[in-house]
Amino acid sequence: PYRQYIHPTSERSADVKHVHSADVQPLITVIIPFLNEADVLPICHQRVCEALTKLHQHCEILYIDDGSQDGSWDLVSRFKHHLHQVRSLRLSRNFGKEAAMSAGMKAASGRCVILLDADLQDPPEYIPEMVKAWQNGAQVVEMQRRERHGESWLKRATAHCFYRFMSHVSDHPITENVGDFRLMDEKVVKVINTLPERTRFMKGLLAWPGFNRTILQFDRDPRLAGNTKWNYPKLIHLALEGITSFSTKPLRWATMAGMMTSAIAFIMTIIIFTKTLVWGDPVVGYPSTILIILFLGGIQLLSIGVLGEYVGRLFIESKQRPLYVLMEEAMAKPTFKPLDA
């Protein structure tokens, strides 16, 4: 499947120029979304370039600055490589990693796309292995975390619960412990680029197209520097968003809870009615009354909340706002037409 083969010893020779010509589609586009990662970006760039160079093919590295404030953009916009095309896009503010990845997938031009975190938790050294799996026929290569180094047991436990719950509620299960680190064929990326929703629950969106899948195991490294951008409120938000944007089952559950309480109420009515008729009407039952009021109140509020979540999604979708706004581009002219064209 090699369209262009550059011999390792001729990397800097004349055919490099030829490879950069507009009609050669890059083998891979590595998409790296980042937010305030100035500490790690230089090492990241170096390691990605080293991994790509092992492939001896013209590749593309696409940095997406998701509104960094720490000078990351100045760094990234000056990155270059003699073999590979380095492009960077800058969003006008922090739109979130999901939007940044979407921007990357629209601008990418490679025959396959790899999503990679800038903090090097997803080691670029796996890229050749992923590409090999792709060349062997997989259209999606999911990278499954074997070990989550540097993450607390609480994070691991909640993540596990979330995956279990998601694969239970969702119609197209998402593989457990597979994050955004993955390779996708251009065909898959083109499908994802046509998905219009504003709420970008990536795990779900990336799983939606299907295609031939392969799972590779890898050990997730701890963050090289800086801090994680996630905290529990954000994770809860993500989980709710994931559930409500990929399943209507909670609505069904609300209905079921309503039916169940109605059934219980019906049975209770009969019991209480008979009791009153047979034994008269002594004024007791304060605890049961309060309990029933609280119970029904709780179920009603919960159901309204669930309903509200979906109405909120509809509201956001109905505004049809763009997912992100591009502010600046560096060396952004793709040598090949982008996958979103």
Q: Which residues bind ligand UDP (CB under 6 A)?
A: 33-35, 37, 66, 94, 96-97, 100, 117-119, 121, 223, 228-230
Sort 152 into a burial class: Cβ within 10 Å, 0-12 / 13-18 / 19+.
Answer: exposed
Residue 100 vs 306, nearer CB to ligand UDP:
100
Torsion of CA 162, 164, 169, 173, to 10 degrees: 110
Gap between the Cα atoms of 95 and 35, Å rounded = 10
Compute the least distance from the CB of residue 210 to ligand UDP, in Å.
25
Beta carbon of residue 228, minimum distance to Mg ion (angstroms, whole number)? 6
Q: Which residues form the interface with Mg ion (CB under 5 A)?
A: 119, 121
C-beta closer to ligand UDP: residue 119 or 241 = 119
Count of Cβ atoms closer than 10 Å to residue 64 Cβ: 28
For ligand UDP, give the closer residue by CB, 37 or 60.
37
- Judged by beta carbon distances under 5 to 8 A according to partner kind, the member of Mg ion, ligand UDP, none in contact with residue 37 is ligand UDP
- The secondary structure of residue 142, as a DSSP letter, is E
211 vs 230, which CB is nearer to ligand UDP? 230
CB 244 within 8 A of CB 308: no
> In Å, how far are 21, 113, 288 from 293, measured between CA atoms?
73, 55, 9
Least separation in angstroms between residue 102's CB and ligand UDP is 11
- 100's contact among ligand UDP, Mg ion, none, with CB below 5 to 8 A by partner kind, is ligand UDP
Q: Tell me the angle at which helices 186-193 and 97-107 cross, rounded to the nearest 10 degrees.
A: 120
**Where does the chain have alpha helices with state H?**
15-19, 41-53, 72-76, 97-107, 127-135, 153-169, 186-193, 202-207, 232-246, 249-279, 286-319
| Closest CB to ligand UDP among residues 6, 183 | 183
Nearer to ligand UDP, 19 or 143 (CB): 143
To the nearest 10°, the Cα dihedral for 12, 13, 17, 23?
Answer: -100
196, HSE (Cβ side, Cα atoms, 13 Å): 7
Smallest gap from Cβ 324 to ligand UDP, in A, equals 11
- Shortest Cβ distance from residue 25 to ligand UDP (Å)? 26
User: Which partner from the list ligand UDP, Mg ion, none does 97 bind, CB cut-off 5 to 8 Å by kind?
Assistant: ligand UDP
Beta carbon nearer to ligand UDP, 9 or 152: 152
Given Mg ion, ligand UDP, none, residue 122, with its beta carbon under 5 to 8 Å by kind, binds: none
| Minimal distance, residue 241 CB to ligand UDP, in Å | 14
Q: What is the DSSP letter of 333?
A: -
| Smallest distance, Mg ion to C-beta of residue 223, A | 5
Given Mg ion, ligand UDP, none, residue 200, with its beta carbon under 5 to 8 Å by kind, binds: none
The amino acid present at 62, given as its one-letter code, is L
